[in-house]
Amino acid sequence: MTYLPSEKRYNSMKYNRCGRSGLKLPAVSLGLWHNFGGVDAFENSRAMIHKAFDLGITHFDLANNYGPPPGSAEENFGRILKQDMRAYRDEMVISTKAGYYMWEGPYGDWGSRKYLLSSLDQSLKRMGLEYVDIFYHHRPDPDTPLEETMGALDQAVRQGKALYVGLSNYNAEQTQKAVDILKQLGTPCLIHQPSYSMFNRWIEDGLLEVLEKEGIGCIAFSPLAQGMLTDKYLKGIPEDSRAAKPHGYLKEREITEERLNKIRKLNQLAEERGQTLAQMALAWILRDGRVTSVLIGASKVSQIEENAAALNNLDFTQEELKRIDVILMA
């Protein structure tokens, strides 16, 4: 079956400038962390990517180790690109990362030039691409000089294998140091990808200020707290949920009664706003103009449709924001 994207794909998506760069990203981007690996149904992964693109989601975020097994999300994405979407490559922003464990031995983890550039070559091969739009260092490396790690990102751009570079999981102080080095090298940092949600607000303590000052974009991963900020867990743990999967990142023990109580109260407020809990949680992150995009995950097409519809109501009253803070801090 030939895939033809919707002619209306740019009608309703909002595109935000990434920091002070020339690049715009969709307010909602699709991450392939879960549900796009070799253990997942390929046709479902394919349908989700098609639907995302039809909704104007032009940014697809991967990493070397996404799967499981590691590397299989990139392989599947490359297969979908080749089969269906090669003609639309210039309408997409594709990112990948390296920084976590990927292969055996001393060269398959952390932040050496050897690891990062070898990993990028592998990622390009798996996806069938000549370059990625954004290449990230996935986490800080306490043992490798930051100059070496940032030098590897700079080299990737100069080799034509990446258009932009980014950081993920760096705190405010680490980010400032990395950004300063990249500026000296002449390859500015485009974007930072931190975890951020109503249940995880660490970036409000300094990181957002650094990003704003330096003109760097921010794309939030796990904006729904691995699915906790949805209606999925209001009545317990469904069999098909991340918390029920043995290879998932979300553990059943994290869904406590105290947290469920907060989820139910937030859900009530979302209903009053005419939104689902997921939609309100995404809109809440986008309330801050320093956040360029939210990075959603999905296990089915309907979740992508629901999440993209969060853009229909991005405005909060001061009273609503206060209510959310009271619920979260209780």
pLDDT of 70-87, one tens digit each? 999 999 999 999 999 999
Say if residue 243's pLDDT is above 60: no
* Res 250: pLDDT: 58
Mean pLDDT, the chain, integer: 95
Give the pLDDT confidence score for residue 160 in this predicted structure. 98
Domains of the chain from N-terminus onward: 15-227+285-300 (3.20.20.100)
As a three-state string, the secondary structure of the chain is: CCCCCCCCCCCCCCEEECCCCCCEEECEEEECCCCCCCCCCHHHHHHHHHHHHHCCCCEEECCCCCCCCCCHHHHHHHHHHHHHHHHHHHHCEEEEEECCCCCCCCCCCCCCHHHHHHHHHHHHHHHCCCCEEEEEECCCCCCCCHHHHHHHHHHHHHCCCEEEEEEECCCHHHHHHHHHHHHHHCCCEEEEECECECCECHHHCCHHHHHHHHCCEEEEECCCHHHCCCHHHCCCCCCCCHHHCCCCCCCHHHCCHHHHHHHHHHHHHHHHCCCCHHHHHHHHHHCCCCCCEEEECCCCHHHHHHHHHHHHCCCCCHHHHHHHHHHHHC
pLDDT of residue 234: 85
**Which stretch, 184-188, 224-228, 257-261, has highest mean pLDDT?**
184-188
Residue 257 pLDDT > 90:
no
Does the pLDDT value for residue 244 go beyond 70? no
pTM above 0.85, yes or no: yes
To the nearest whole percent, how much of the chain has pLDDT over 70? 94
Interval 88-111: pLDDT, tens: 999 999 999 999 999 999 999 999
pLDDT at 12: 95
Per the model's pLDDT, the better-predicted residue between 226 and 62 turns out to be: 62
What are 172-203's pLDDT values in tens digits?
999 999 999 999 999 999 999 999 999 999 99
pLDDT at 237 over 90: no
Q: What's the pLDDT at 256?
A: 84
- pLDDT reading at 141 higher than 60: yes
Q: What is the pLDDT of residues 292-315, one digit of tens each?
A: 999 999 999 999 999 999 999 999
pLDDT at site 246:
53
Q: What is the pLDDT of residue 248?
A: 54
Residue 235 binned pLDDT confidence (cut-offs 50, 70, 90): confident
**Proportion of the chain above pLDDT 90, given as a percent:** 89
Task: Read off the pLDDT of each residue in 127-149 and give the average, rounded to a whole number.
Answer: 98
